[in-house]
Amino acid sequence: MATKHDTDTVLERQTLKPPPMYQVALLNDDYTPMEFVVAVIQEYFNKDRETATQIMLSVHRYGKGVCGVFSKDIASTKVEFVLTHARKAGHPLQCVMEEV
């Protein structure tokens, strides 16, 4: 007994959207030293000293400086690392992630 296969079936192709990306930013405060902010940006975001200084100046002048854009898990991990490092050093530096 033979079975008949439907050869006319067309599979619909789903288009997948790329996962959302998140920017990680540092927020200004009146207590964290600028040099500490530069060091954090260099260590956790792999920026050279000049780029880190420019980001720090953006934090200082405009209240916020974007350090990079990452997937959700990586952005979340970076925020936690920065906050933990700042608290251990006794600084109130704030680090946030925002969907872009």
What letter represents residue 4's amino acid? K
Higher pLDDT, 15 or 59: 59
Mean pLDDT over 61-77 rounds to 98
**Per mean pLDDT, which range of 1-10, 22-31, 46-55, 60-69 is the poorest?**
1-10
The residues, ordered by sequence, that sit 6+ positions from 97 with a Cβ below 8 Å of its Cβ are: 22, 23, 24, 25, 72, 75, 76, 78, 79
Mean pLDDT over 23-44 rounds to 97
Cβ proximity of 78 and 45 under 8 Å = yes
23 forms beta bridges with 69, 98
The residues, ordered by sequence, that sit 6+ positions from 4 with a Cβ below 8 Å of its Cβ are: none
For residue 5, name the pLDDT band (cuts at 50, 70, 90).
low
7: pLDDT strictly greater than 90: no
Mean pLDDT of the chain: 93
Sorted by where each starts, the structural domains of the chain and their CATH numbers stand as: 31-99 (3.30.1390.10)
Q: Read off the pTM.
A: 0.83
Q: How far apart are CA 52 and CA 69, in angstroms?
A: 15
pLDDT recorded at residue 14:
85
Cβ proximity of 42 and 48 under 8 Å = yes
77: pLDDT strictly greater than 60: yes
